[in-house]
Structure 1
């Protein structure tokens, strides 16, 4: 029997354990190196099939019109791929979102939502696209989306699309939301941004992390200096969290994080976070947990 709905589908946040800008291409895109790691905190999505072929986001998201939402745009691409492969129109789908991740936080919330939508709809529609095909389909919408479909901790290069699996410490993270939304374009367009960090190798990262029970001390986030100069709350959060470990910003900001070896250590610091900020703890994920939901919930014909 074919499933007609998928509820409680995780769209986890990601952290950039480091983020180096190595150069800039002729088309303006930046050449990056980073390690993406997912954590067990994020948005939750719910999907219900429609018979009329329409794609609808049934939850209002302030500041994000339905037609420009990455979820809707990604599903329209999947519908076109379905039509090309099967020679008939794709089903429709309703998407509801429990939005927990802040926009402009560097946690990949919108990209993670789109990736979860693609994987869930691919299963519900029985579209039959492979992981690699879904990643290629999503890349034009944003370089972070393929990572979430890739589904495991990854060393990324290029514009973020060249992914290799890599091991990272199995630790806990404390994340602070400084209360500002940082526009990615403002960071990458800044004249202050350095774009000449020497490339590292995946083995450099692996050798470093094998010596530590938590993530600390490897590389830096080249975008952080720009963000803290433009957005003082980011600087304040980093300064406060640095008293407890290697605090750094994720992505282009605004959220900052620090790793801890145990949940108890993360809890101890979490209780001390000033009330002006939203903060939470999360466990590192080695693999995307949506795969378990799909295996349990979707029965293929």
Structure 2
């Protein structure tokens, strides 16, 4: 694709504004098989939530992608927003650049998809700011090169997911209150998926089974056996509701219909745990902002 640099990219609305990169929860997770390349076949339900990182994009006329401030412990070349912007440039031939300002609020290694969401927001917003006009499907395909969770955030809606998590069907979920505990550990996702005792042949279910209450997560037994901090978090949260693991963790969550009950549980747990109070969203906050622009 030929370069598509506008004469004055800063004139396009959206530069230097804060753009949300929301978190997600896996409300259930089944591992139904394994591909020849080692990737696991999944069934899952993604729910977008209103906890967000925030990204601001500053236009550069030169062919350069950089961060405003480096993330501690992460090389700039490895940071997913930088990789996403470079991938977009490489795919389209865009000759301009960008400086990315990242306000990091979501915990790393918690299973909330923070890095993947940052990458997705970068792809979606720069596609607009650079006037590249790629379709959502094209952006999802690019995102899959960066990580299996990136497509759900490009998709931007709560969804039923299959394949490696990239085959998505939009669904409407109750936008309940959610209490999330981040245990003091960083779960190694690759280690979990390589674990000998991991269930890899769960029977597929239908959406009606999930609606009827099948919220099981095939990773829970392995994660809690390897990470006692996660097991303790589930025990603590279970005093207030049904505690469940999101993805491979480390975060655990409980769903609350009543806001007051959620806030009471938050108040009871916050002195001993890192706790987040959130609410489910069917449409991503990113797309709500795009729709307003």
Residue segments in structure 2 that go unaligned for 5+ positions in a row? 1-10
Relative distance call for 1:4 and 1:265 in structure 2 (3 A) is closer
Separation (CA, whole Å) in 1 of partners of 2:146 and 2:286: 21
The answer for the alignment partner of 1:162 in structure 2 is 167
The answer for the alignment partner of 1:282 in structure 2 is 278
What secondary structure sits across from 1:141 in the alignment?
coil
What secondary structure sits across from 1:81 in the alignment?
helix
1:147 equivalent to 2:157? Answer no
What secondary structure sits across from 1:186 in the alignment?
helix
* Distance apart, 1:274 and its partner CA: 5.2
Query: For residues 12-23 of structure 1, what are the structure 2 equivalents within 5 Å?
Result: 12-23=22-33
CA-to-aligned-CA distance 1:17-45 (integer Å, 9 cap, x gap): 00111111111111110000011012111
The answer for the alignment partner of 1:250 in structure 2 is 246
Separation (CA, whole Å) in 2 of partners of 1:126 and 1:274: 44
Query: For residues 116-265 of structure 1, what are the structure 2 equivalents within 5 Å?
Result: 116-206=121-211, 208=212, 217-265=213-261
CA-to-aligned-CA distance 1:86-132 (integer Å, 9 cap, x gap): xxx43211111111111110000000000001111111101111111
The answer for the alignment partner of 1:271 in structure 2 is 267
Asked if the contact 2:62/2:95 (under 8 Å) is kept, the reply is no
Asked if the contact 1:18/1:220 (under 8 Å) is kept, the reply is yes
Q: TM-score, normalized by length of structure 1? A: 0.90
Separation (CA, whole Å) in 2 of partners of 1:127 and 1:191: 45
CA-to-aligned-CA distance 1:134-155 (integer Å, 9 cap, x gap): 0011112111100001010100
Q: CA RMSD in A?
A: 1.4
**Aligned partner of 1:11 among 17, 21, 41:** 21
Q: Which moved more, 1:129-138 or 1:271-280?
A: 271-280
Query: For residues 29-48 of structure 1, what are the structure 2 equivalents within 5 Å?
Result: 29-48=39-58
Give the aligned length.
283
The answer for the alignment partner of 1:86 in structure 2 is none
Q: TM-score, normalized by length of structure 2? A: 0.93
- Tell me which stretches of 4 or more aligned residues in structure 1 moved more than 6 Å: none
* Distance apart, 1:7 and its partner CA: 2.0
What secondary structure sits across from 1:107 in the alignment?
coil
Asked if the contact 1:123/1:294 (under 8 Å) is kept, the reply is no
Residue segments in structure 1 that go unaligned for 5+ positions in a row? 84-88, 209-216
Separation (CA, whole Å) in 1 of partners of 2:63 and 2:172: 41
* Distance apart, 1:276 and its partner CA: 2.9
* Distance apart, 1:4 and its partner CA: 6.3
What secondary structure sits across from 1:187 in the alignment?
helix
